[in-house]
């Protein structure tokens, strides 16, 4: 099985290839609002997951 494809970028010119691999400086948006920022997975979250799982199993047996 061929794992490398060397003919993929042959149709591109040298300047186009350089533009594709050029490093772009990124900035972090510090003013963006944080929506639903939750820091930890709590016991209540685990309880809700287990409760939803039990409901799915029960519904599966009624069908």
Structure confidence by residue, pLDDT tens digits, 23-54: 878 888 888 777 776 678 888 888 988 888 87
Which residue has better confidence, 57 or 41? 41
Beta-carbon contacts of 12 under 8 Å, excluding residues fewer than 6 positions away, are 20
Alpha-carbon distance of 63 to 61, in angstroms, equals 6
Q: What is the CA radius of gyration of the chain?
A: 25
The better pLDDT of the pair 11, 8 is held by: 11
Residue 14 CA, chain-centre distance (Å), reads 32
Structure tokens at 13: 């010119």
Residue 63 has pLDDT above 60, yes or no: no
Each residue of 10-27: pLDDT tens digit? 677 888 878 888 887 888
């Amino acid at each position: 099985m061929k794992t490398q494809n060397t003919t993929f970028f042959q149709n591109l010119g040298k300047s186009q290839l350089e533009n594709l691999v050029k490093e772009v400086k990124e900035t972090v948006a510090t003013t963006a609002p944080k929506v639903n920022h939750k820091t930890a997975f709590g016991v209540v979250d685990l309880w809700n997951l287990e409760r939803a799982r039990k409901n799915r199993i029960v519904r599966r047996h009624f069908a």
